[in-house]
Amino acid sequence: MARNTQPSATVDRRGQPPEDDAEVFGASQYTKARAVREHYQARLAKIDYEERIAKLVSGEEVQVAAFNKFRQFRDAMINLPDRLAAMLAPRP
């Protein structure tokens, strides 16, 4: 029955808490954590590379460009009544 139960705290054969994290988490968990870390490091390296070759642009640049385009659109819409007033006015 003792083989089917888990101890409440991990201890080594001498009854001491383990000194190495690999003993606590096991090599397989360390390997998984390392793989996840390497995966994200690779993704960050890819993003950095794409920024350097100008395939990606920063979000701030996109926001500034969008703001300027919408400002131009707004100004054109505001000026629309002045340009159309003469054409739409009733003629005597």
pLDDT in tens, 5-51: 555 555 556 666 656 555 556 778 999 999 999 999 999 999 889 88
Distance CA 23, CA 19 (A): 8
pTM of the model: 0.41
Distance CA 44, CA 76 (A): 41
| Residue 28, token pair as written in the block | 């397989």
